[in-house]
A and B are shown apart, each in its own frame.
Chain A
């Protein structure tokens, strides 16, 4: 079974802090994704990566950056946390093949910015 592991289930940080969310997958997937989930808005893509050191902006990249130094690990960085970044953050991974590959999700990190 695919395992996508997010380092923290719950995290509380203060406004202005630099925050790191870590995600690791064990299936040798090329693609990795970061989403945020807010009630009524579904999932919104922040960034994705299709290879080591490669990254592409999603729909809402402002205030975030990412790092992918190894194939299995994809980090989301909040450069200077703000209260409007309080949310559930979900990491996902998938194979990079002819379309139709399902994405596999971690259990999420519920982040609160005070």
Chain B
């Protein structure tokens, strides 16, 4: 079985400050890790993924994420937050053991960026 934990329901940050949204995972086998963003009344948009290789992954809108195998974490980061980054963020995990590339999603973290 695979699982994802996003320990913070909400993260508050001031515009221009760095932001981190936390994610830890549990999976048997090598993990495939994803971050998605959801704006109000919209579906999820793919931000970035880690499959293999460099532990620091860069994605859309200036976001990046760091894979840490020993801590089973995949935290989302951005050096300088924008008000427009305010949204709901989901971490997801899959593995090579899954038929059909099934993903398990975390409960989501709401990011609030204040001017």
Q: How many A-B residue pairs have CB under 8 A?
A: 69
Cα distance A50–B45 in the bound complex, in angstroms = 21
A57 shortest CB reach to chain B, Å:
11
Cα distance A94–B98 in the bound complex, in angstroms = 14
Q: Is the CB of B49 within 8 A of A45?
A: no
Is A13 an interface position by the 8 A CB rule? Answer: no
Interface residues in B59-102 by Cβ distance below 8 A to A read 90, 94-96, 98-102
Q: With A43-B90, A100-B51 in contact, do A107 and B41 touch (Cβ < 8 Å)? A: yes
Tell me the nearest residue of chain A to B44, going by C-beta.
Answer: A105
Q: Is the CB of B100 within 8 A of A105?
A: no
CB contact between B100 and one of A31, A90, A104, A110 (< 8 Å): that residue: A31
- Per the CB 8 Å criterion, the residue count for chain A at the interface is 32
Cα distance A14–B71 in the bound complex, in angstroms = 48
Is A56 an interface position by the 8 A CB rule? Answer: yes
- Per the CB 8 Å criterion, the residue count for chain B at the interface is 26
Q: Is the CB of A99 within 8 A of B46?
A: no
Q: Is the CB of B95 within 8 A of A108?
A: no
Q: Is the CB of B102 within 8 A of A105?
A: no
Q: Which chain A residues border B100 with CB–CB below 8 Å?
A: 31, 48, 50, 56, 96
Q: Is the CB of A99 within 8 A of B43?
A: no
Cα distance A43–B36 in the bound complex, in angstroms = 12
Q: Which chain A residues border B106 with CB–CB below 8 Å?
A: 42
Tell me the nearest residue of chain B to A104, going by C-beta.
Answer: B46
Q: Is the CB of A99 within 8 A of B94?
A: yes
Q: Which chain B residues border A58 with CB–CB below 8 Å?
A: 102
Is A84 an interface position by the 8 A CB rule? Answer: no
User: Can you add 5 more A-B contacts, CB < 8 Å, to A50-B99, A99-B95, A99-B96?
Assistant: A40-B9, A40-B108, A56-B100, A96-B100, A102-B46
